[in-house]
């Protein structure tokens, strides 16, 4: 049976200064195991409010949670934006399904949204993949606005684009507000 020993090294006050921050150094009683280092606090409040990494940083949970929520919201909007983009692309290329792959690829190149070569496009078509899966439609936003207008979905598309930009900005803003401290 192996045994280990942990040494607690007090480093200074915790953020609320009711307790202390500690470095914990655990060593096994054999020569081949390296020591393990972790960090923590003896303060109940701060151990609830902060997360400690093993490399000497602590992160405020509430500030990180706020960022995670913004990121989730961004993903949600991005999913909705991509769904409308897929609809628009598939509607545009519906007429090309019966045409040779070379014709479809020429149209993708004309729009600057092609991402497959002819061989891969043929393979994708045989596998029943939709045009939306074989292009990078966001490479040509002007075109997307045009097809959205033709489909009567321009306000929806513009709204989602705006919501997406706002959500991204909010995620960035909150990521910059994550409170991290160096412990050691």
With CB under 5 A as the contact rule, the residue among 6, 7, 8, 18 that binds Zn ion is 18
With CB under 5 A as the contact rule, the residue among 14, 84, 137, 144 that binds Zn ion is 14
7 CB-contact burial (10 Å; exposed 0-12 / middle 13-18 / buried 19+): exposed
Give the pair of three-digit tokens for residue 43. 């303060």
CB of 60 to Zn ion, least distance (A): 12
Nearer of residues 46 and 137 to Zn ion, judged by Cβ? 46
The reply on whether position 10 binds Zn ion by CB under 5 A is no
Q: Tokens 């706020």, residue?
A: 66
CB of 92 to Zn ion, least distance (A): 59
Instruction: Find how far residue 3's CA is from the centre of its chain.
Output: 41
Euclidean distance between CA atoms 96 and 99, whole angstroms: 5
Give the pair of three-digit tokens for residue 92. 């545009």
- The contact mask relative to Zn ion for 111-150 (x = CB under 5 A, - = no) is ----------------------------------------
Using an 8 Å Cβ cutoff, are 26 and 36 in contact? yes
Nearer of residues 28 and 57 to Zn ion, judged by Cβ? 57
Using an 8 Å Cβ cutoff, are 125 and 96 in contact? no
Nearer of residues 19 and 56 to Zn ion, judged by Cβ? 19
The reply on whether position 183 binds Zn ion by CB under 5 A is no
**Residue ranges that bind Zn ion, judged by CB under 5 A:** 14, 16, 18-19, 43, 45-46
């Amino acid at each position: 049976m192996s045994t280990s020993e942990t040494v607690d090294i007090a480093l200074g006050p915790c953020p609320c200064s009711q307790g202390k921050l500690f470095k914990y150094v655990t060593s096994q009683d054999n020569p081949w195991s390296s020591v393990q280092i972790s960090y923590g606090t003896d303060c109940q409040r701060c151990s609830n409010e902060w997360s400690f990494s093993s490399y000497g940083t602590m992160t405020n949970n509430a500030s990180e949670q706020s960022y995670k929520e913004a990121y989730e919201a961004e993903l949600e909007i991005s999913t909705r934006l991509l769904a409308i983009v897929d609809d628009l692309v598939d509607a545009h290329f519906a007429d090309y399904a019966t045409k040779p792959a070379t014709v479809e690829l020429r149209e993708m190149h004309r729009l600057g949204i092609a991402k497959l070569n002819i061989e891969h496009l043929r393979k994708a078509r045989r596998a029943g993949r939709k045009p939306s899966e074989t292009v990078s439609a966001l490479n040509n936003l002007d075109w997307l606005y045009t097809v959205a207008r033709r489909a009567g979905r321009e306000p929806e598309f513009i709204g989602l684009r705006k919501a997406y930009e706002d959500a991204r900005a909010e995620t960035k803003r909150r990521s910059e507000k994550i409170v991290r401290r160096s412990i050691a």
